[in-house]
Amino acid sequence: EDQVTQSPEALRLQEGESSSLNCSYTVSGLRGLFWYRQDPGKGPEFLFTLYSAGEEKEKERLKATLTKKESFLHITAPKPEDSATYLCAVGGTGGFKTIFGAGTRLFVKA
């Protein structure tokens, strides 16, 4: 069964303190690994898509990487405005089903 597990559940950082979020996945036939950001009271907002092991994508202070079993979202020198829930998802079996992880809630304190 396709599965996505994110860790940690919550992460508290000081402004400028870099860290990484983990997403482990099990899927038969990866069609894409996605990272989304969700702010309270809003819908998830697309950040990155990764398709193959070794691929990396960057956007401002965020960098996503992919291996055959997991993905990392690296946050460099975070700012308070980076506080949000970060969701990992995989495009799974059948071509039209996306499985989301439970998310990591990130708190960045000034």
In terms of CB distance, is 78 or 92 closer to other proteins?
A: 92
Q: Which of 17, 20, 22, 26 is nearest to 90 (CA)?
A: 26
Site for other proteins in 54-93 (CB under 8 A): 85, 87, 90-92
Look-up: residue for tokens 């508290």? 12
| Choices 14-22, 52-60, 72-80, 95-103; region in contact with other proteins by CB under 8 A | 95-103
Contacting range for other proteins; rule: CB under 8 A; set: 29-37, 54-62, 65-73, 75-83: 29-37
Q: Which is nearer to other proteins, 59 or 77 (CB)?
A: 59
In terms of CB distance, is 13 or 90 closer to other proteins?
90
Chain centre to alpha carbon of residue 80: 18
Quick one: 19 or 49, whose CB is closer to other proteins? Answer: 49
Strand ranges for the chain from DSSP E: 3-7, 10-14, 19-26, 33-38, 45-50, 56-59, 62-66, 70-75, 84-91, 98-100, 104-109
Q: Which of 34, 64, 65, 108 binds other proteins (CB under 8 A)?
A: 34
